[in-house]
Structure 1
Amino acid sequence: MKEYSESEFLIETIVPEDELIVSRTDLSGKITYANETFASISGYEVDELIGKPHNLVRHPDMPKRIFKEMWSKLESEQKWQGYVKNLRKDKGFYWVYASVSGVYKDGKLVEYKSIRFPIPYEEKVFYQKKYDEMRNIDGENIRTVIYK
């Protein structure tokens, strides 16, 4: 089990109510577009995000089954929506409600777009507990913080 200092993973960045985080990826999940809000909230510059896998911002608290469900829906040409805890470049985090769907040209899937919205504190607490339980059930690593 990897140990982290008490400051890592504990600092939350709040997504402003009037902001939307927008990105697009190619079919393999590499970022092709990121708006300034995405860059700012995630702690990256836009040019640092372009060409990188979108899972660059996947927080280790997220259960693997959530992303399996997302990809399953996307592959069957459905929209996926759900709550996501993302990892910032500085190891902090931010919570969003994400809506991910395919982008089609002439009936052919060409990329994915994702729009993320801020969520209330109560939903963050609910989903943190729910995702911790899922990871425990699935035998995934559970994060622990050690104070010295």
Structure 2
Amino acid sequence: MRDKSTGIQPSGRERHFKPEQLIVSKTDLKGHITYANEVFLDLSDYTESEVLGKPHSLIRHPDMPRCIFKLLWEHISAGKEIFAYVVNMARNGDHYWVHAHVTPSFDANHNVVGYHSNRRKPDPKVVREIIVPLYAELRKIEESTSNRKDGMNAAYDALNQKLSDMGKSYGEFVQSL
């Protein structure tokens, strides 16, 4: 499935990075990239000039459920941090999994002025056994309606029901993995 926003066809090949490497990026309030470190640039196959000012969704993989981004934006726009598993896509269609920690950036008056994300290499077993099946289930729900927003909201509700059944918040679920 070709990504609708970038036109890039996923290759099915996974990229890997070392556990000691940290992917770092910063965005403005609208999610446009204001900083990307070398690890980000190397994994994504973009240059700094190609990513600065662009939406962070530039590296969004089409297999990533939209409802997870809805949850992420709810947290960070409310001034809260969030941890999430994310699959990103490089310029050539290769993908790479990350365990992301996204936080709001504040000015001296405690106003949110942007967002900061650090990503680490996730546990491959957790990705394979828990996250991939969960995200496939959420995407199936998202694709079950003709309206993308309705699909995203249905998957969001299903995720929240699943979390409620476990007696955990999203943060507690991610941290338990």
Contact 2:24 2:117 in 1 (8 A): yes
TM-score (norm 1): 0.87
Structure 1's unaligned 5+ residue stretches are 142-148
Task: For 1:10-25, list aligned pairs within 5 A.
Answer: 10-25=12-27
Residue in 2 aligned with 1:63? 65
CA deviation string 1:14-65 (max 9, x = no partner): 0211100000000010000000000001111122111110000110001110
Q: Which amino acid aligns with 1:71?
A: W
Contact 1:15 1:95 in 2 (8 A): no
SS in 2 for 1:32: strand
Name the CA distance, whole Å, in 1 between partners of 2:16 and 2:84: 18
Per the TM alignment, residue 140 of structure 1 is displaced from its structure 2 partner at its CA by 5.8
SS in 2 for 1:17: coil
Name the CA distance, whole Å, in 2 between partners of 1:8 and 1:68: 23
Q: Does 1:115 align with 2:118?
A: yes
Alpha-carbon RMSD: 1.7
SS in 2 for 1:65: helix
Residue in 2 aligned with 1:145? none
Residue in 2 aligned with 1:102? 104
SS in 1 for 2:19: coil
Name the CA distance, whole Å, in 2 between partners of 1:116 and 1:53: 17
Contact 1:83 1:98 in 2 (8 A): yes
Equivalent in 46, 49, 53 of residue 48 of structure 2: 46
Residue in 1 aligned with 2:161? none
Residue in 1 aligned with 2:171? none
TM-score (norm 2): 0.73
Name the CA distance, whole Å, in 2 between partners of 1:21 and 1:99: 10
Name the CA distance, whole Å, in 2 between partners of 1:140 and 1:73: 26
Name the CA distance, whole Å, in 2 between partners of 1:92 and 1:99: 22
Name the CA distance, whole Å, in 1 between partners of 2:92 and 2:73: 27
- Greater share of residues in helix: 2
- Say which structure, 1 or 2, has more relative contact order (CA 8 Å, 6+ apart): 1
Residue in 1 aligned with 2:142? 138
Equivalent in 82, 85, 92 of residue 84 of structure 2: 82
Q: Which amino acid aligns with 2:81?
A: K
Q: How many residues align?
A: 137
SS in 2 for 1:97: strand
SS in 2 for 1:119: coil
